[in-house]
Structure 1
Amino acid sequence: MAGQSQILRQILQSDRCVVVLHGPAAAGKTTAGLEFYRHYQRPGEGSACLMIAPNIQAIGYLKRSILKSSPGGAVMSPAVTSFSAVAAKILGACSVKSQSLPTYRRRLLLRQILDDMKCSIGLPALWAVADAPGLIVALDRTIAELKRAAVDPESLSAVIGPARSAEPDKIRDLLQIYRRYQERMQAANRHDVEGQLWLARDCLRDGEAKTNEQVGLGGVSAVVVDGFLDFTPTQLEMLVLLARRVDKLAITLPYTHDGRGRLWQWTNRSLDRMRHAFAADLDEIACPPSEDAKPEIQPLQPLWEKVFNIDAKCQQGQSLPAELHLTAASGIDAEVASAARRIKRLLADGCRAGQIAVLARSMDAYSPIIQQIFAEHEIPISPRTESLTDVSIIRFVLDVASLSPEFEFQNVLRIIKSSYFLPSALGAFDAATVTTAEAVIRQGNVLLGRQAYDDAVGRMARAAKMATEQADGNIEES
């Protein structure tokens, strides 16, 4: 047990097969998860622990962290993956033939279903907007959300119940579209991501008598799940079934008892669901915040506390800056309408239209709604086809802002090779410094971490010194 952290010892010593590590940000949950993963590392064979992360960015970060901590600077097939990849592996091992359907194919299928329904049974509520931009995207996202919540067409029909009137009902139109979507997918033996998770869950549930090798989990004796705020019902069911097949299942969750109930509302709900799902098999380990991780008070800290600490009570005399207005809206339409009203007041006060910029998270979703609602408010707009993140100077600023203390080599290279980067702004540096830094990263095989940069510089300095001494020796001999 030498060299193990206190949290890892608690995980390994727990008599429960499922352990939840919960704590605030920077409390060491991911670090403990990585240490748990390395505990199952087998020399020359990889790890007997499977690590599940929510997205490709988290998977990449975890793989780099595993590589960084490897004594030999190399890792054999790090077992870091996603739920969808685990599902695909289970389906393959169980000989379930299922072809995944990409996003554009799903949306083409929905377009065909809408066109067919318009010509046959009709769409009483959605007929008028059946050809409207954005409807197919909205339907695709709604169906995906229903499937993530494990709501199939029959369950949705039971919730809706019998029609109470002859008036058009968009929920019933959605039910008919969803039902036909499922029928077409099943007839073609194709599945979306959520559908494949359903199939994998069924394979695990129906194959409890099978060995791990027979369900695609050969060699796996532990599982760690990191980076999730919540789990869909299907994901949680898969975790319950996986826990029965491994020695230990560890899950990290951002949550702590600090009096901010609303802040932790969703992760608290996730923890309650896990308590119900795993019951007596669950153990909880609290990860206290690290003193070293506490950020210094910044100039905007009071504003941050007031805007984002939704549990804090407004103290008398405090108010937001006059230039800042916050709006709470239930949905995109209400959000855009609120922004339109604010812009209309600015225009009435003498502000010119060209002086107002409207930024949105995704123009695919917002653009049609902005155009419609702004037209209703008689607000002239000049839409930009270019995303803000595609503007080179903005992209450079975002790269600088996202540079972590670990100095990942991709981020560093993007910054120092940008034409907007000015070395002299950081001190007595010039273009030669940038060239040297790039050489250190590329020739020194630096991934991330200050120590890795120090080590690479040391190796290159020693190599340069030896080369110089060798050259001097050759000159003297000649």
Structure 2
Amino acid sequence: MSTSMELWIAPAHGGKMAAALAEYAATLMRGPLAERRRTLWLAPTYAAAADVRQRLVERAAEAPQAALVDPGVTTFAGFASEIVWDAGLRVRPVSAVQRRQLLQRVVNEAMSAGALRFFRRGGSTAGLVSQLADAIAKLKRRDVSPQAFRRQVGGAAPRLRDFAELYRRYEERLRQAGAADAEGLLLAARDCLRADNELGARLELVIVHGFTDFTAAQEQIVALLAGRARRVVATLLGEEGGRGNGDGGRRALFGLPAAAARRLEALAGATRRGVSAEGPALGEKAIHPLPAALAHLERNIFRNYRDVEPVTAAVRESLHRIQIVAASGVQAEIEEIARRVKGLLVAREPPEEIVVVFRRTQEVADRVRRAFDDFGIPLYLDAWPRLGSAPLVRSLLNLLRLHAEDWPYGRLLRAITDRSLRLDLPSRGPRTWPPDASTPDARTAVELCVRHAQLPSGRGELLDLVESWTAADAIDMPVEPPTAQAAQAVLEQMAAWFDEVPPQAAIPMWLEHVERLATAAGLLEPSPRGATNRPARPSPATGATAAGGPDDETARQPWDVLARGLREVAVLERRLGEDGRELLLVELVELLESIAETSSLQPADDAVGRVRVLAAEAARFVRPRRLFVGGLSEQAFSAAESLRNVHDRAAQEDMGGGPADGDPPAPQPQCETMLLFYQLVTRPTESLTLSYPALDAKAQSVPPSPLLTELERAFGDAPPVRTVQPLDYAAAPAGPALSRSDLRRSAVTAALKRKREPLAELVRSPRYGELGRSLLGGIETVAQRSDRTAFGPYEGLFTSDVARALLERRFGSKYLWSPSLLETYAACPFQFLARHVLRLAPAPELALESDLARRGHLLHGTLARLYARLAAAAAGGARPTPAAVAEQFQEALDAVVESHPARGIQRALREIERRQIASWATQFATQHAEYAAACEKIGVPLEARHFEARFGPPSRRSDSTDEAGLSTDEPFQLDVAGETLKFAGRIDRIDVGSVGDATVFNVIDYKTSARARVNLAEMAAGRQLQLPLYALAAAELLLARQRATPLAAGYWSVRGKGFGLDARSGGPLRIGEIKDGRVQLLAGWTTLRQELLGRIAEIVTGIRRGWFPVSSADKECTQFCELSTACRIAQVRSLEKSWTPPAEGV
């Protein structure tokens, strides 16, 4: 058989594809239908091969009585598999998962054997495995064997010697498994072709089309086919016989295919031929005549400036087919692309004829999905998500890690809040208002318990702790027993999921256990016997899961891919003779995470009838009518990218992959980037739109890609039109509204110009009425919040009669008030709304910090025990010194700590708090002595007699902390503006003495802050009501039978100056005095009382009327308030608003 290899070299649109298809179709259809394959078409990708097959089908449909059974269109990988099979060589290809696991095993084995020097510390990292995979692939593409690489490395640096050792071990493992990776399969096919001259001998025509470069094995396969097939044609980009420098003046552009052509000439004796639509002759024309501007672009881009053709009248007339958009940002650029695409679709352009290209689609995938969905564009996005991004896989891996790591805090919270997990939650019945904070839903109950437990990890310890909180008589617990009981049920259910999970097992057994776990957790729905489990899908109404429906196949895909990956690893182990090897749970999780990172999910939809958004590498093989190339910023298709290629090439040559002596110089690295850009911009047949974000997030100018500048220079003094978007482009899009966002923006923009019709039409629209009504609501919100003269419903004021009725009923005559409630409203009514009406509270976080409330309880208990001992000593006539008081302080503190044992991290934090309080012992002893001296100075020795004196109904802590002889369940009743208000509270300490026959007392409230002090102005404003109300409650309720008179009420600052009874400033509130041996109330106290009653009346009225304005006198409130990001008090202050209750409310 005579042989011939031809190189068809032509630029884009040079007719290579048309001529090759004509030749191939004619040869393909000459033989009988059942005859063994006589033709072969090698394409660079499976997508390119599918496109060729489709074109052949279209040609066959035009021919009478034509049929195609096996057109022979494949890739090098597909052809290599066929050759290896035909040769009887049973080499099994390894999948991506198997290859990564094999490499990981090779690295681990080398590490264990001490065979590595450079990577002996970080050898098991995923980064090394990825680096090793890339390095081996590059070496094999250049046909560098492990032995050759080891010889080239010689005594080089340890890093290269380690790579050589790992490469050798990897190839040995592949041979042991009888397997081959993608590059190895090509080398095996080449060896088979060399060994058997009959392989490929019946081929009449071989077409190699779409390549810009070849690996060593690919070139050798083509050369071997050239010696057996009747005719081999390889098409390459380039220019023959053009102007300038003998190569068309674009040597750098076509450097890669030119080098490939030279190698094929040397290997296979290929001859260069021109291309013609009728055959291999010069003068070929494109299948469809291109617009003049696009043809000019193809002929002149990247050409020497002196060789650029002048712009003709025809080019100028069609120059509108090439447009450049300088967008005002990344998001604006993608939205503009979507808008132009939607315009084409509205003009009845077929979606499949529109292609949008980005350098890498993964970087813009989320933005593209949102924008195209907003415009209602059918989309095919060439950005296959990683398996690890699937919710099912994320939830399953988190569960396995949760079990393997013994329920760590963060993972447990993620599991609890994961709505993919099916928890058998008890029903709370119908929703009521106000919300019942004492019995939250089960998920919230678990989260509260986990957060309050503050355990870094420990399943058993957590379950025991929550169980201890379920007791009705439990004290000092952070949650109520009903909450703990609900949490306990859920936590025990989760614990049951893991009961059957073994500590180690072989992969087939692990697959069964993982599937059972996923089913128990609700990630997979149980299926009938023999059927595959189906992933559960959430119910839109309840959030529960249900199986079935049209989305089952898509929902099942993540589990199928994960299970397939496990089975592939099991097959690999069987081939390596390690069948049945057991993995620990931690090893299984690492394996699953590796599979999730290596594997991808296929898109749910194909590209038929959809606009394709492709990566640049994939788009170089398509030929659409309309092409958009986006993201052409300075870093895309730039010199920086070429520099990365330089480094990559240097590393490759460092590892023995450089050109041999005597080889022609390799093409410059920028050739690859230029060629890719050239292929992209020459693909469309009707129009080309190029865009880039001209501004960054700070509105600073960003230059475009230098290749875009080269494209403009190809048109000399008549470059394509450049559209520069204004900064307010997103707020006021030009042209008709083509998306939901356009409708919204255009309606609001028109309304701002007092044109109400577009917004009115939007509200009345059956399709977009809800959108229009939401806009009206937003406009009303902004308008009311911008009113400088008054507060409105969007700043905390309730105007609904129903809401007011609910508030009046809840905070009615039977409501038990507390001083702290009133103080909260006086300080910030909006904070009162959040905390005490809506019952919002920040979730506690796992933190190594002291709990001020817990420390306060510990201090209170310590002082109560201390004064009980001091009272007993005083009864015996003893008067302890400050040193003795300090010692007894320490003993009392230790006794309190021992009586309330803590667990886990709480034990450590309790110890820190104990040490903090212990450090105050000496200071407190001094304060105690000073207080006693001050009492003697005024002639009234006061005795610390009552601690934690309660008035009002008891709580869970009452039995252990209340003063048994003084506390009462009866609330304190206060006549305020003709209404009796009921108060509940707990007084830290009451010191009692006598003046003659009269009983006097001081009210003391302990504070650990050194800055706590009485402020009469704060009292009058209602922000310090606790002391005067406690004094009233003690006099009129707790000590009413003794007709006791208050002398003072104040803060005892343990870290400051104590009670400060004799202080000239900053001391307690003075209520009574002793004059001439008699006790009398100060005139100022009577006046202050009347002021306080009036302020309390205002506060209660405001609460009942629903007045909760965003108003705080504390200018620094946003620094510590958890609501600072929600209240927007900065806007209120910027408008200089001041809250004054309406006249109707007083």
So what's the TM-score if we normalise by structure 1? Answer: 0.59
Other-structure match for 1:106: 99
Which secondary structure state, in structure 2, belongs to the residue aligned with residue 182 of structure 1? helix
Q: 2:7 aligns with which of 20, 27, 50?
A: 20
Q: Does 1:36 align with 2:36?
A: no
Q: 1:206 aligns with which of 190, 195, 198?
A: 195
Q: Does 1:393 align with 2:372?
A: yes
Distance 1:360 1:67, change over 3 A: closer
Which secondary structure state, in structure 2, belongs to the residue aligned with residue 258 of structure 1? coil
Distance 2:289 2:379 in 1: 22
Distance 1:89 1:144 in 2: 21
Q: Is the 8 A contact 2:203 2:230 kept in 1?
A: no
Other-structure match for 1:123: 116
Distance 1:159 1:387 in 2: 46
The letter for the 2-side match of 1:247 is R
Distance 2:163 2:20 in 1: 41
Q: Does 1:414 align with 2:607?
A: no
Q: Is the 8 A contact 1:25 1:289 kept in 2?
A: no
Q: Is the 8 A contact 2:3 2:229 kept in 1?
A: no
Q: Does 1:84 align with 2:77?
A: yes
After superposition, the C-alpha distances for 1:124-177 in whole angstroms (9 at most, x for unaligned) are 3233443444332222122111111111111212222224xxxx5322211111
Other-structure match for 1:182: 171
Distance 1:391 1:172 in 2: 49
Other-structure match for 1:244: 227
After superposition, the C-alpha distances for 1:96-132 in whole angstroms (9 at most, x for unaligned) are 1111111111111111111122222243323344344
Once the two structures are TM-superposed, the CA of residue 49 in structure 1 deviates from its matched residue by 1.5
After superposition, the C-alpha distances for 1:285-340 in whole angstroms (9 at most, x for unaligned) are 35667476555448xx99x999x738659x9xxxx99999xxxxxxxxxxxxxxxx
Once the two structures are TM-superposed, the CA of residue 195 in structure 1 deviates from its matched residue by 1.1
Q: Is the 8 A contact 2:378 2:610 kept in 1?
A: no
Which secondary structure state, in structure 2, belongs to the residue aligned with residue 127 of structure 1? coil
Structure 1 gaps of 5+ residues are 1-14, 325-358, 367-383, 403-409, 417-448, 450-478
Q: Is the 8 A contact 1:102 1:192 kept in 2?
A: yes
Structure with a larger share of its residues in helix? 1
Counterparts of 1:13-412 in structure 2, within 5 Å, are: 17-40=4-27, 41=29, 42=31, 44-45=33-34, 48-70=38-60, 71=63, 74-163=67-156, 169-208=158-197, 211=198, 215=199, 217=200, 219-256=202-239, 257-279=247-269, 282-286=271-275, 290=285, 293-297=289-293, 309=302, 361=360, 391=370, 393=372, 411=607
The letter for the 1-side match of 2:98 is R
After superposition, the C-alpha distances for 1:151-209 in whole angstroms (9 at most, x for unaligned) are 1111212222224xxxx53222111111110111112211112111111111111222x
Once the two structures are TM-superposed, the CA of residue 39 in structure 1 deviates from its matched residue by 2.1
Which secondary structure state, in structure 2, belongs to the residue aligned with residue 271 of structure 1? helix
Distance 1:202 1:311 in 2: 44
Distance 1:391 1:129, change over 3 A: farther
Which secondary structure state, in structure 2, belongs to the residue aligned with residue 223 of structure 1? strand
Q: Is the 8 A contact 1:229 1:270 kept in 2?
A: yes
Structure with a larger share of its residues in strand? 2
Other-structure match for 2:311: none
After superposition, the C-alpha distances for 1:227-270 in whole angstroms (9 at most, x for unaligned) are 11111111111111112211111111111132011001111100
Distance 1:398 1:111 in 2: 41
Distance 1:411 1:185, change over 3 A: closer
Distance 1:239 1:24 in 2: 22
Which secondary structure state, in structure 1, belongs to the residue aligned with residue 6 of structure 2? strand
Distance 1:241 1:218 in 2: 10
After superposition, the C-alpha distances for 1:411-462 in whole angstroms (9 at most, x for unaligned) are 562259xxxxxxxxxxxxxxxxxxxxxxxxxxxxxxxx9xxxxxxxxxxxxx
Distance 2:116 2:284 in 1: 54
Q: Is the 8 A contact 1:262 1:310 kept in 2?
A: no
Which secondary structure state, in structure 2, belongs to the residue aligned with residue 393 of structure 1? helix
Paired residues in the alignment total 323
Distance 1:189 1:390, change over 3 A: farther
Q: Which moved more, 1:226-235 or 1:282-291?
A: 282-291
Q: Is the 8 A contact 2:6 2:271 kept in 1?
A: yes
Greater Cα radius of gyration, structure 1 or 2: 2
% identical equivalent positions: 24
Once the two structures are TM-superposed, the CA of residue 61 in structure 1 deviates from its matched residue by 0.4
The letter for the 2-side match of 1:49 is T
Distance 1:294 1:16, change over 3 A: farther
The letter for the 2-side match of 1:48 is R
Q: CA RMSD in A?
A: 3.9
Distance 1:18 1:64, change over 3 A: same
